[in-house]
């Protein structure tokens, strides 16, 4: 175990499917608690609340990366440069800040809609850079290594990035599949996920309202046999009525996720059997 994430399974994967759970961490360091101006409970809005329990229950022999540090500390689904100049003294004051950063949910989240501003004071450049070095880069480096090893072993690898979402107001979708509008995964992998969800009787949407973030943008390389899909699961499916603790639907949700993993593995193994050799850069990374 590192200081900020755990790896379940072998770094040399036993499956072409690699699981990532980046937003379920609940290990709130004392320094974070002392810096809060909002109640600690308000940070739960930033969590993919207990989706780690669903991923662990669904996991078979897949390698899984699970972040323990909370999203309020650093968001693994944002790029290193997505730093908020209203919070972070090391951020560039650019007019081209992303909509997420402008909304206060950059690399280190500044606010939530319900609680407003989260922190008592601004963060120094050194504080944010230390979090990047200790927590952000190690997770992404480990994930890249595992995906390269899976591609080397099976001829094809699939990253399934597991998240959860609040119930969509007025919508029927209980699961949202994100593939960055076709850029992160071949359509046949998405079709496998859709088929699995259909067998479970769950309505889904594709890329709306969640298309996938930095994790998919960084790690997906479909042209090189590494596909990536983000899965957003409605928290009402597996949490209690307060959307706080695992509820009666947790076991069924884990079975659904297991069905999605199996569907992706079947497709990956079929593709890997006829995959071309690794490009030199990927072959070197896998050694």
Per-residue model confidence as pLDDT tens digits over 199-238: 999 999 999 999 999 999 999 999 999 999 999 999 999 9
Domains defined for the chain, CATH in brackets? 5-73+135-286 (3.40.630.40)
- Preceding amide of 209 cis, omega within 30: yes
Tokens representing 9 are 């399974």
- Is pTM beyond 0.75? Reply is yes
DSSP result, 40-59: GGGGGGGS-TTHHHHHHHH-
Query: What is the per-residue pLDDT for 96?
Result: 79
Pairing outcome for strands 17-21 and 111-112: unpaired
pLDDT at residue 108 is higher than 50 = yes
The pLDDT of residue 275 is above 80: no
Please choose, from the candidates 141, 131, 158, the residue with its C-alpha nearest in 3D space to the C-alpha of residue 216.
158
Please tell me the least confidently modeled range out of 11-25, 40-54, 83-97, 178-192: 83-97
Nearest CA to 38 out of 125, 124, 110 is that of 110
Contact 106, 136 (CB under 8 A): no
Distance (Å, rounded) from C-alpha 135 to C-alpha 200?
Answer: 36
Question: How confident is the model over 139-151, as a mean pLDDT?
Answer: 98
Using CA atoms, how far residue 12 sits from 146, 147, 162, 187, in Å, is 7, 9, 21, 27
Please, which residues bridge with residue 88 across strands? 123
Residues in the chain: 287
Asked whether 24 and 43 are in contact (CB, 8 A), the reply is: no
Residue 92: predicted pLDDT: 85
Q: Is the pLDDT of residue 64 over 50?
A: yes
Residue 1 has a pLDDT of: 43
Distance from CA of residue 17 to its chain's centroid? 14
State the Cα–Cα distance between residues 23 and 228, nearest whole angstrom: 17
Helix (H, G, I), strand (E, B) or coil at 159: strand
- Render pLDDT for 155-177 as a digit per residue (tens, 0 to 9): 999 999 999 999 998 889 999 99
Q: Which single residue is written with the structure tokens 């606010």?
A: 111
């Amino acid at each position: 175990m590192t200081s900020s994430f755990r790896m379940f399974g072998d770094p040399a994967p036993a499956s072409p499917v690699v699981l990532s759970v980046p937003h379920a961490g609940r290990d709130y360091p004392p320094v974070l608690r002392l810096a809060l101006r909002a109640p600690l409970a308000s940070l739960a809005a930033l969590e993919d609340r207990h989706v780690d329990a669903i991923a662990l229950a669904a996991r078979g022999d897949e390698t899984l990366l699970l972040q323990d540090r909370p999203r309020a500390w650093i968001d693994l689904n944002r790029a290193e440069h997505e730093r908020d100049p209203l919070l972070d003294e090391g951020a560039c004051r650019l007019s081209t800040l992303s909509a997420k950063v402008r909304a206060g949910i950059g690399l280190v989240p500044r606010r939530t809609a319900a609680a407003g501003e989260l922190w008592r004071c601004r963060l120094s450049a050194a504080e944010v850079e230390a979090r990047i070095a200790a927590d952000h880069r190690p997770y992404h480096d480990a994930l890249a290594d595992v995906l390269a090893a899976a591609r080397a072993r099976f001829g094809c690898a699939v990253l399934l990035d597991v998240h959860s979402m609040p119930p969509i107001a007025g919508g029927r979708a209980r699961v949202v599949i994100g593939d960055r509008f076709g850029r992160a995964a071949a359509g046949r992998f998405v079709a496998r996920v859709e088929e699995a969800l259909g067998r479970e009787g769950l309505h889904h949407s594709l890329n709306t309202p969640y298309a996938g973030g930095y994790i998919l943008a960084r790690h997906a390389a479909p042209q090189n046999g590494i596909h990536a899909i983000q899965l957003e699961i409605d928290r009402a499916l597996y949490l209690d009525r307060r959307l706080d603790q695992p509820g009666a639907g947790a076991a069924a949700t884990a079975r659904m996720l297991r069905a999605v993993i199996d569907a992706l593995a079947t497709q990956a193994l079929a593709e890997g059997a006829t995959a071309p050799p690794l490009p030199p850069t990927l072959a070197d990374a896998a050694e």
